[in-house]
Structure 1
């Protein structure tokens, strides 16, 4: 049933870090991705400066235009208003070009640099060892490559430019208003910063309320998701009323929070309008007195008010930009963690198996012991000794938690043993390049993951340059061609996310076809038929027999009936090899674990048949 629970899954708010020397230094490391585009980046900086200058030139020309019109009314000679207006149009035209170039250049640099960063992150992430993925959630890693990089991208393409532009506007604007009237500037500085500080505090509180409302809305979405995923449980317990009440309660909380947020926003906007226009009235009133005294012209007063608005806007914008910069440094730290993580020594270029590393299929495990890095005190495998000759079928059985899947992980070198040796054709596994080793091995797991493309693409994953004929031949050996041919699109049928459009047996046969196409020297089957019905199991088992023929195979099995013909059966218990032998040899061990497991399955099968 969709269970009530406390909300731990909030809408993700990227954490911030303090601006320290260390965090800034760490953030600057990512500027190496900008280096290939430094020409455009420098040009962008130049256009930012030019854009700021032309923007601040406009109020000055406006002042000149007003003073010119006023002088003409008083019969004084001066610059014709038409000339000044044309100059203003010219400045606006130049400003338009500068703004376009600034945005274009920074966007170009940011998009290219962050594309390179994304590629690097993914390239490293896909080469991480299995232990790395065992300790992290998929959602967390996806967030690194999406949310964190997007935050950095926003900073490089927009926020960085806005910070530089804001600083220039603040410095030049302050210089100009002080030049126009030092007295008015001092008056403005006594009022505007106080308004900005109050506005920032108001803004922080409003953002907090908005985040709480978003979190509550996310909880409502979680209730819907849980209810629909567990709809059969909800209906079977007749708990529709309970889920409706739970959802209504959550939505009512959202409405309550949103209204409270609206009240504070109303107060904030009212305060802002009163404060801003009140400050303008104060400045204009004081400036009018200066005009009457003849110490300030009407044009000077107009320019002063406009420049004050520019300076105030820049000061107010710094608070949000500072917050964004903190988030970016936090995102940078998390991305940097990925970029400095140790990776597996695998090749990332396409290539064939080197003749020097070709395997015939002989495998030895000599005194293998293993503990997972996260639980070093728990020994999962203890003194494992197994030898598989070329072409032999080795079955691995035992109760849950015996260490069967761990043995598979050791064979694939997802993990290296804590002690002991793993040998392929007499060579130490560590002397064979990892990619060369894995190119000659294939895994058919219990839970087959198909990629969301076509059937052809999923089978061809075993050999990316395979032809249509090769894919079809593999599918026929895997007993998959027949059901594929019944689909209207045939091999171009899209399987859906994780292969959801196919049945379990069909997914297994696609995975077997993929392994056949790879033509490995060593095959690993991890309980490949355990979750199938009898009809599907027969088809899959026949396909597996085709796949295992003339190649070394390690088969993990719960259904002992599928491994009766194995050349050797390894019985594991608590990480130790308890018994070794053929099916018949192990059945003859009177108090043997294998015999006990076999009897349990036989009794269960008889009971099932009698039901």
Structure 2
């Protein structure tokens, strides 16, 4: 199973345009921006104290020639002070960057989630949940790491390289030229060699992940493996994958061996060469032993920083790419709902529904007309059933009424008013849907029922549960209403989930109720209990019932037969049964002859 790795994050070229986009993140800093800039000052101070360290060390070594113990003590105290200052500056630098980053990214996360939740259904029908999760987790983690440490480290290494070169040139120009011609080149070569090895390590990880897919598939389908007596086939398949892992890992190991040899010969050879040349200059009286010692320390700064800065630059590129992807989502246009939670009571509508010549195609499949000239009326208190073969657009009618998608032609009226003239909160606040596949959230039964009315009293929740035929099974649990339902309600049966959904809808007390094949996946006993609860739920409101089982809609005031996107038959159960060669009659005969 290929897992999303941080290394897989795409990079973005660092240009003036991409940097400007990345700077947008500072808009979310609020009153925390100053922490970033003060952090940069402490970063500069940390780098300056780091650069002072080799200078003092060289002076300390020179005290040997001068045989001046008092001066050595003073320099040692100076070194101690440099270390204390460096540790204090580092503490404030890290604290300020972390404080700035966490506060800023908390605002980005909230803004991103707020915008995601408000986006229309058309957006979610075109995006995978995994991809959106990745934006909120992986991309923001990448930005977090970069703002907390990578930028600071990149700037610090850059200052150290420039500062070290200045200090090296001030000690001895000849030795500096010799060092420049060798050390940075070896450092950069080491980085590229290292990156090549990491690519091989990633290949090994990918191969291991592929071998794990075999294990996972076998374990999940073990009954099929055994039923077909294919144990040896699966073992052979796994053996081949393992061989691939071994082959790549051995090659990677050889490369690591070459890399170790390269480091020993080139890096340490370079140090030997610099020291040898420095000793020659020292013998000639051009530099002191202490200056040579200082030179070697600054050279090590240049070597280490040259090696590290390329990797840090790659991390910054990834962070800019991540920032661009996060802001792409933030720029998506949300649905127009109220700017803040509406505590005032939602205006109540009566619930008369009219579809007039409604036409619709899904944005992802424009060429397929899902609905064509759909006309019907559902008056207050009526039960309108919509039936027809699978894939003819029955559930689409519910989606359009809830304004999940925009219609292409015609109009939908509620109480004689176009649905686009209602604000979304009022429109959806007067509707409830009980779907076939009920989604419950991972909290308690009480929290899931109260989702229909978050400010509901204990008494209201209890009444809704009783009316939904859910009270008895809830009371049967040791923790009763405080029972945790598990992810997506996995700890409850289908019938129990449906009754929780009905209680949720009852609590909302909608004017318009949509039942989307609410009993099609239930056994007979559960269906009876759910059907009883639905009868209570449908009382005194307009009900639109999308039905698969015709037995559940015989008492509907009107049945609409949808075929190829059009309403081809309309009437009561008795009227439609009387139609010769009618679709409804054929569906009815088919279902009841099989039952």
Above 0.5 in TM-score? yes
Aligned equivalent of 2:332: 341
Query: Using the alignment, how far apart are the partners of 1:79 and 1:63 within structure 2?
Result: 16
What is the CA distance between 1:569 and its match in structure 2? 0.7
What is the CA distance between 1:219 and its match in structure 2? 1.7
Aligned equivalent of 2:356: 366
Q: Does the alignment pair 1:38 with 2:33?
A: yes
Deviations 1:323-376 (A, max 9, x none): 112211221221121011111112353325656x42111111111000111122
Aligned equivalent of 2:590: 600
Aligned equivalent of 1:122: 113
User: For the structure 1 residues 179 and 34, does the alpha-carbon distance in structure 2 shift closer, same or farther, using more than 3 Å as the test?
Assistant: farther
Aligned equivalent of 1:491: 481
Query: Using the alignment, how far apart are the partners of 2:3 and 2:450 within structure 1?
Result: 38
Query: Using the alignment, how far apart are the partners of 2:588 and 2:75 within structure 1?
Result: 100
Aligned equivalent of 2:341: 350
The CA RMSD measured in Å over matched residues stands at 1.6
Aligned equivalent of 2:405: 415
Aligned equivalent of 1:249: 240
SS of the equivalent of 1:109 reads helix
What is the CA distance between 1:23 and its match in structure 2? 2.0
Query: Using the alignment, how far apart are the partners of 1:395 and 1:50 within structure 2?
Result: 75
What is the CA distance between 1:78 and its match in structure 2? 8.4
Deviations 1:157-204 (A, max 9, x none): 111111111111111111001111111110001111221232122112
Query: Using the alignment, how far apart are the partners of 1:244 and 1:346 within structure 2?
Result: 56
Aligned equivalent of 1:86: 77
Deviations 1:278-303 (A, max 9, x none): 11111111111111111101110111
Counterparts of 1:374-413 in structure 2, within 5 Å, are 374-413=364-403
Contact 1:525/1:555, CA 8 A, preserved across alignment: yes
Aligned equivalent of 1:49: 44
Q: Choose from 177, 182, 187 the match for 1:191.
A: 182
SS of the equivalent of 1:374 reads helix
Query: Using the alignment, how far apart are the partners of 1:300 and 1:407 within structure 2?
Result: 84
Q: Does the alignment pair 1:270 with 2:265?
A: no
Q: Choose from 530, 533, 538 the match for 2:523.
A: 533
Q: Does the alignment pair 1:203 with 2:198?
A: no
SS of the equivalent of 1:414 reads coil
SS of the equivalent of 1:451 reads coil
Query: Using the alignment, how far apart are the partners of 1:112 and 1:220 within structure 2?
Result: 41
User: For the structure 1 residues 266 and 440, does the alpha-carbon distance in structure 2 shift closer, same or farther, using more than 3 Å as the test?
Assistant: same
User: For the structure 1 residues 9 and 276, does the alpha-carbon distance in structure 2 shift closer, same or farther, using more than 3 Å as the test?
Assistant: closer
Query: Using the alignment, how far apart are the partners of 1:466 and 1:258 within structure 2?
Result: 61
Q: Does the alignment pair 1:283 with 2:274?
A: yes
Aligned equivalent of 2:14: 19
Aligned equivalent of 1:301: 292
Contact 1:452/1:499, CA 8 A, preserved across alignment: yes
Contact 2:98/2:148, CA 8 A, preserved across alignment: yes
Counterparts of 1:402-551 in structure 2, within 5 Å, are 402-551=392-541
User: For the structure 1 residues 462 and 224, does the alpha-carbon distance in structure 2 shift closer, same or farther, using more than 3 Å as the test?
Assistant: farther
User: For the structure 1 residues 236 and 498, does the alpha-carbon distance in structure 2 shift closer, same or farther, using more than 3 Å as the test?
Assistant: farther
User: For the structure 1 residues 485 and 251, does the alpha-carbon distance in structure 2 shift closer, same or farther, using more than 3 Å as the test?
Assistant: farther
Query: Using the alignment, how far apart are the partners of 2:238 and 2:490 within structure 1?
Result: 29
Structure 1 alignment gaps of length 5 or more? 1-6, 606-611
What is the CA distance between 1:63 and its match in structure 2? 0.9
Query: Using the alignment, how far apart are the partners of 1:231 and 1:489 within structure 2?
Result: 36
Q: Does the alignment pair 1:161 with 2:156?
A: no
Query: Using the alignment, how far apart are the partners of 1:543 and 1:190 within structure 2?
Result: 84
SS of the equivalent of 1:323 reads helix
TM-score for both structures, normalised by structure 2: 0.97
Q: Does the alignment pair 1:235 with 2:230?
A: no
Query: Using the alignment, how far apart are the partners of 1:598 and 1:149 within structure 2?
Result: 55
Deviations 1:378-432 (A, max 9, x none): 1110001111101111101000111101111101100111011111111111111
Query: Using the alignment, how far apart are the partners of 1:307 and 1:411 within structure 2?
Result: 72
SS of the equivalent of 1:396 reads strand
Aligned equivalent of 1:574: 564
Query: Using the alignment, how far apart are the partners of 1:493 and 1:307 within structure 2?
Result: 65
Contact 1:392/1:553, CA 8 A, preserved across alignment: yes
Contact 1:10/1:215, CA 8 A, preserved across alignment: no
Query: Using the alignment, how far apart are the partners of 1:53 and 1:602 within structure 2?
Result: 87
What is the CA distance between 1:9 and its match in structure 2? 6.8
User: For the structure 1 residues 352 and 524, does the alpha-carbon distance in structure 2 shift closer, same or farther, using more than 3 Å as the test?
Assistant: farther
Q: Does the alignment pair 1:135 with 2:135?
A: no
Query: Using the alignment, how far apart are the partners of 1:322 and 1:99 within structure 2?
Result: 21
User: For the structure 1 residues 566 and 502, does the alpha-carbon distance in structure 2 shift closer, same or farther, using more than 3 Å as the test?
Assistant: same
Query: Using the alignment, how far apart are the partners of 1:9 and 1:108 within structure 2?
Result: 31
Contact 1:11/1:214, CA 8 A, preserved across alignment: no
Aligned equivalent of 2:54: 59
User: For the structure 1 residues 467 and 229, does the alpha-carbon distance in structure 2 shift closer, same or farther, using more than 3 Å as the test?
Assistant: farther
Contact 1:485/1:491, CA 8 A, preserved across alignment: yes
Aligned equivalent of 1:609: none
Higher deviation after alignment, 62-71 or 20-29: 20-29
SS of the equivalent of 2:363 reads coil
What is the CA distance between 1:31 and its match in structure 2? 2.5
Query: Using the alignment, how far apart are the partners of 1:257 and 1:467 within structure 2?
Result: 63
Contact 1:369/1:381, CA 8 A, preserved across alignment: yes
Contact 1:68/1:79, CA 8 A, preserved across alignment: no
Query: Using the alignment, how far apart are the partners of 2:19 and 2:36 within structure 1?
Result: 19
Number of residue-to-residue matches in the alignment: 594
Higher deviation after alignment, 219-228 or 85-94: 219-228
Q: Does the alignment pair 1:552 with 2:580?
A: no
Structure 2 alignment gaps of length 5 or more? none
